[in-house]
Each structure stands twice: as structure tokens, then as C-alpha cells.
Amino acid sequence: MEKMKTVFFLFDDMTALDAVGPFEVLRGIPDSEVIFASLIPGEINCKGGLKLISQYAIKEISEAGLLIIPGGSGVHPLLENARLLEWINTLHCSSLFTVSVCTGSLLLGAAGILKGLKATTHWNHLHKLEAFGAEPVKSRYVIDGKVITAAGVSAGIDMSLKLVSLIKNETFAKLIQLGIEYDPDPPFDTGSPDKVSPQLLELFLKANSAPGKK
Amino acid sequence: MEKMKTVFFLFDDMTALDAVGPFEVLRGIPDSEVIFASLIPGEINCKGGLKLISQYAIKEISEAGLLIIPGGSGVHPLLENARLLEWINTLHCSSLFTVSVCTGSLLLGAAGILKGLKATTHWNHLHKLEAFGAEPVKSRYVIDGKVITAAGVSAGIDMSLKLVSLIKNETFAKLIQLGIEYDPDPPFDTGSPDKVSPQLLELFLKANSAPGKK
């Protein structure tokens, strides 16, 4: 039997954790192989200086069991890349699940995939989903048919555990959670705009309002 | 003013999320730069097929504000690498904090740094800390002086937020938490051996008992 392909799309100025959180969970799916693809194969410069390696050009990959699109400020220059949007659509046609993390959902939107679907993204970009015909939902992740969109960055971990339970079963997802000791206990409770003071929210928005920042 | 160096040690068969979780948090510390170092610079093969790039050989890096040692099965062949252990010790001498995630603590232990300290690691390896003269503590992360050890894989995110609050301040840590939308809500509650059924624990231990597995 051929292995299921879990395909991550990588790009410059992506947020590394958007991809690596899900990677650490999804790589545990039995009889699957993880593939990294990008417009041009080679070094990918993530936000903050980490470099990942993409093995394949997207044109070399014509199908995926799971297609995972991470986010980050590098999404914005890609929103009008017709070749990329067509590739996303092609893989989406035969995927088991098409998945985004954070602002990766904007790429799914630009590819036309979110039309008429409930979807989410990073809280600070949620209002942008309507322009793609999606119904924005404030949620850790949203499953609508075979399209799964996760909220910002770290939400990809929660979403991926759910995804493993759907692809394989709950026992398997629980074993992976135990393996990555995902028993979260953050020292603060400021992971959502609903949980922070107006002052902190204003500070955040001021720091993140520069063009191109995410 | 010279920037504070946040130095990640990378190695083959490391667990990518051990490093990338903290990276996504710590890269936000102002006036700091992130550096990746390894025995030989170049491609690092993480467990599961992801490749990261290390820019520097460890011999090129002689000091760190923060030294971060991730874990993974690749730790084991390094425990007797005298050159590496000496490097860890050298950087530890002048670091602000010396930090491990998951079984990275075994490398700190082998370097003699945990002697007489409280420390933690991945739950399935906690018993190994005593051999290094450490006092094993079951905790998401343990701070003992300037040595911080985090539990398995995902615990590096919780630990790093705390670390930012120590290096900079709580407001800054909270802003980063909001930025990575770290408002965890896993679909299952099986991230700790204390929270799973004996059957699930047995399944996990059986699947992870092969030599070299973590």
C-alpha cells in the first residue's frame, strides 16, 4: 500500500511553529510520510532567523493525503500567486483533509477553497476571511467538511491532535499527546484577546501595526 | 550595546518542536539575536524528516546569553561527547540562563551542570536525572538558579514564556503569548502519564521501548 503523503507548504517569512507544531503531531501517523514543498526547493527563511529545508518544488508534488498550509507575514505576497493557488486547489481536489494554521487560511481563501465554509485564523486577521466568502468563527480550530482551519500559531498543535483522531483514531491521538507531553500550563493566561486587558491589547496592536507585520 | 545571543544547540535525531516552540517565543526578546549551532554546521535531520539549518559549528560560538538544549533520541549518542560537554560548560559559565527542553536535560546532566540541582525532563526519562546528581521534579519546568529544565517537548513553550518574563518582564511575555495565540485547548486530556488510563500508558511504553526510541 502506498503511504499517505502529509504535505507541508513552506515559504519565506512563514512562522516556523505554524508548521513544526503540526509536524511533531502528524509525523506520528502510521503509514504516512511527511513532505515539505515550496515554490523553489531549498532553504526557507522563517520569521526570526530559523531556516528549514524544503525538499521539493510544488510542481513535483501532485497529490497529498493531508495538505498543510502554515501562516506568517510571508503569506501576503503569495495571495496573488496564481501558480501557487492553482497548486493548492489541485491538491485540495483529492486530499483527505486540507488544513491551514494561522494566516495560512488566507491562502486557502485566495484559492477559493473557503467559499461558503466556516473558518478561522489568527485572531488579529479573522475579519479578513469574509472577503473570501467564508464565515469567520472564533474558535481554536474549525472543521467544515474536509477543510480544517486553525487559529494562530500554537493552535496548530490542538488541531493536529484532532486531525490524527479523524485520520486514525482517538487512541492514537492520545498516545501522541502523551509522547509530546502536551499537558499545557502556561505561566500567564493571555493567549486570547478576550483574556487580556484593554491596555495589553492596545500595546499588542500598536506593536503589530507596521505594514507586513503579522 | 551588543545584542544578547540566544544559542540553540541542534543535532541529528533531535525533536524539532523542542527547539522550535522556544524559538517562536524567545525570538521576540528585544535586543537579542538567535543563533543555531551544531557539531558540524549545515543540515540537521530532525526526527520524522524535517531538516533545519545550523549556521555555526559550536567551536565558533564562545558565549551565550541563553543557551538552549533541546532533546530527542539523538541526545543519547552525545552523552559521552567530551567536546560537546565542554562547550556546554563553557557557555554555561557566562550565560544568563542555561536551559533544556525534554531529554536535553540529560546533556546538561552529562556536562555536570545539574549536580545538586532540582531538574525535570520528559516524564518517561525522569528517573535518569538522579544518575547526574540532580533531584528529579515532576513539573512543567523547574528553575534552579540560572538552570531551567522543561518537561517533554511542548513544555518548552510554557517554559519559554516564563523565561521571557525573567529576562525582560511579564508584559512582554504576555504580548508574545497573545501573538502566538497560546490559549491551549487540546481535544484530549492525555498529556501526562498521571492523566491516562493504565491501558494507554502500557500501550505507550510498549511502542516506545525499542532501543534508541524516545
Q: How confident is the model at residue A210 (pLDDT cuts 50, 70, 90)?
A: low
Smallest Cα distance from B54 to chain A, Å: 8
Buried b (16+ CB within 10 A) or exposed e, B149-176: bbbbbbbbbbbbbbbbbebbeebbbbbb
Asked if the C-beta of B49 comes within 8 angstroms of chain A's C-beta atoms, the answer is yes
- Average pLDDT on A176-203 reads 97
The length of chain A in residues reads 214
Return the pLDDT at A8.
98
Provide mean pLDDT across the span A29-42.
96
In degrees to the nearest 10, what's the CA dihedral of B7, B37, A156, A119? 90
- In angstroms, the CA A58 to CA A50 distance is 21
pLDDT digits (tens, 9 = 90+) for B10-43: 999 999 999 999 999 999 999 999 999 999 999 9
A20 interfaces chain B, CB cutoff of 8 Å: yes
β-pair type (B51-54, B42-45): antiparallel
pLDDT at B212 over 90: no
Measured between CA atoms, the residue of chain A closest to residue B164 is A187
Query: In the predicted model, what is the mean pLDDT of residues B161-165?
Result: 98
Block residue for cell numbers 531549498: A42
Instruction: Note whether B195 contacts A181, CB cutoff 8 Å.
Output: no
Helix, strand or coil, per DSSP, at residue B121:
coil
At B89-110, the pLDDT tens digits run: 999 999 999 999 999 999 999 9
- DSSP helix/strand/coil, B112: coil
Taking residues A37-65, what's their average pLDDT?
98
Buried b (16+ CB within 10 A) or exposed e, B28-49: bbeebebbbbbbebeebbbbbe
User: Across the interface, which of A170, A177, A186 has its CB nearest the CB of B186?
Assistant: A177
Q: In this prediction, what percent of chain B has a pLDDT beyond 70?
A: 97
Collapsing DSSP to helix, strand or coil, B39 comes out as coil
Helix axes A155-167, A16-26, angle to 10 degrees: 30
**Residue at A100: amino acid letter:** S
The predicted model gives A138-155 an average pLDDT of: 98
Please tell me the distance from the alpha carbon of residue B152 to that of residue B191, in angstroms, as a whole number: 10
Segment A50-55 shows an average pLDDT of 98
pLDDT band at A2 (very low <50, low <70, confident <90, very high): confident
pLDDT tens, B123-136?
999 999 999 999 99
Cα B157 to chain centroid, rounded: 10
Any chain B CB within 8 A of the CB of A153?
A: yes
Whole-prediction pTM: 0.96
Average pLDDT over every residue of A75-98:
98
**Strand ranges (E), A19-128:** 32-38, 42-45, 51-54, 56-57, 66-69, 97-101, 118-119
DSSP letter string over B198-212? HHHHHHHHHHT-STT
pLDDT of residue A1: 67
Question: How many residues in chain B?
Answer: 214
A194 burial type by CB count under 10 A (0-12 exposed, 13-18 middle, 19+ buried): exposed
- Decide if pLDDT at A155 tops 80: yes
